[in-house]
Chains A and B, each alone.
Chain A
């Protein structure tokens, strides 16, 4: 059955697949995870703050983002951002936002909803005595969060955060709807051009699978180490 497969096409397109495609995928994943973590932490702090209105706003945002299919958000955002930009800046024409910027903003906003729930659980896992001790030493709310609570929450949640990032890594392939050349996009372009769909998609699957698997394995080892520290 494999006799009429041509894996030479994979070998020939490797530089393209990795230098262009994988670089894009990894960059998008890393920046989205970082941005999502920062905004997600802010949202988590809003939800846990004593201010009811802030908490409500954050809660609605999270629920809203989590009840939409990611691919739709990517799609709509790409078309809406130019107009939102126009409205915000008061420009006369829609702002042109590149596909990369648009997808990055989308992923950050989308991931922020998920990361915020993780960080919220992380913050709640810290005993109340910790912020009390920090406050008793004279640290302000912001300092208590920055130096005492968040570092511990982050450390405790690191395995879950990485697992979520692995999911994100796979989800970035959805930018194909904007015909962006991410890893899957690159594979798909070669596949179409050379008419080698099965080979290219098989190879793409193996690459995603391998990277995710290795990362998951790393997470499990990390989990064991954190369990020892605690």
Chain B
């Protein structure tokens, strides 16, 4: 579903963020990406839907090369759901309109169809009553669930998550993770940047560990938690598991 091969990215000639990153996510797979702050996790995941350009290598999603100038990027992105650390709901639009905007403008769905789909997804994430409110009136956990619903409204073939719970108060983390676990169980293909190792243990197929722009470790979940091969991954794991 996602093929990443030999991707290099520089933010400036002297600063390389990604070095020879190669990995893939197959259909129905859940891959968790972790690693220390600044290691390039967000950058890598943003390369997948071309929110960030990269200078070398190739990434393709469902057979479409994202770094091909002939690729219709809006169309490709509409099939790749993305959830951000800071939710990024549109503050000037009501919750339901947050869910309808792209459905109507990108997928050309009628208002009625978009509304029906939107309400169905809000119900699914347990927020049907909030449809007419504005994002600022919702808690962080609620906003993130709306953001997930907004992405799902486009019927994506794959979902990308960039630290979806790290901006949340601790008591709201689980309500968001529950939605993500359900998604994973339904067979959604997911690439998730997160430090929630409980989530990784529960649903991940593979875990990728990044450090200084490199994919240091890319292993099936059990191998990763069992005995990470690299020193750096071991250190990182013991650090985040200790609290």
Binding between chains A and B:
yes
- Interface residues of A, Cβ cutoff 8 Å to B: 127, 129-130, 132-140, 143, 147-148, 151-152, 155, 229-230
- Interface residues of B, Cβ cutoff 8 Å to A: 46, 49, 51, 74-82, 84, 86, 88-92, 101-102, 105-107, 134, 136, 150-151, 154
On whether the beta carbons of B86 and A129 are closer than 8 Å, the reply is yes
- Residues from chain B with a CB closer than 8 A to the CB of A129 are 84, 86, 88
On whether the beta carbons of B74 and A136 are closer than 8 Å, the reply is no
- Residues from chain B with a CB closer than 8 A to the CB of A130 are 88, 90
- Contact (A140, B49) CB under 8 Å given A133-B84, A151-B92: no
Partner of A133, one of B74, B75, B88, B136: B88
* Chain A facing B: main interface SS: helix
| 8 residue pairs from A and B, CB less than 8 Å apart | A127-B86, A132-B88, A136-B151, A137-B101, A139-B101, A147-B101, A148-B90, A229-B136
Q: Nearest 9 CB-CB pairs, A to B?
A: A138-B78, A133-B88, A137-B102, A136-B82, A138-B106, A129-B88, A138-B77, A138-B74, A140-B74
Partner of B105, one of A135, A147, A152, A229: A147
- Contact (A133, B82) CB under 8 Å given A138-B106, A139-B106, A148-B90: yes
Bound CA–CA A230/B137 (angstroms): 10
Partner of A138, one of B89, B92, B102: B102
On whether the beta carbons of B84 and A137 are closer than 8 Å, the reply is no
- Residues from chain A with a CB closer than 8 A to the CB of B106 are 137-139, 143
Bound CA–CA A139/B80 (angstroms): 12
- Residues from chain B with a CB closer than 8 A to the CB of A230 are 91, 136
On whether the beta carbons of A136 and B105 are closer than 8 Å, the reply is no
On whether the beta carbons of B105 and A143 are closer than 8 Å, the reply is yes
- Residues from chain B with a CB closer than 8 A to the CB of A152 are 90-92
Partner of B51, one of A136, A140, A147, A155: A136
Bound CA–CA A121/B135 (angstroms): 23
Nearest to A152 among chain B residues (CB) is B92
- Residues from chain B with a CB closer than 8 A to the CB of A229 are 134, 136
Bound CA–CA A230/B135 (angstroms): 10
On whether the beta carbons of A136 and B136 are closer than 8 Å, the reply is no
- Residues from chain A with a CB closer than 8 A to the CB of B151 are 136-137
On whether the beta carbons of A138 and B88 are closer than 8 Å, the reply is no
Q: How far is the CB of A84 from chain B (nearest CB, A)?
A: 39
Q: How far is the CB of A153 from chain B (nearest CB, A)?
A: 10
Partner of B92, one of A133, A135, A155: A155
Bound CA–CA A151/B81 (angstroms): 24
- Residues from chain B with a CB closer than 8 A to the CB of A143 are 105-106
Other A-B contacts than A143-B105, A152-B92, 17 sampled, CB-CB below 8 A, are A132-B84, A133-B89, A133-B90, A136-B151, A137-B77, A138-B74, A138-B76, A138-B78, A138-B102, A138-B107, A140-B74, A143-B106, A147-B101, A151-B92, A152-B90, A155-B92, A230-B136
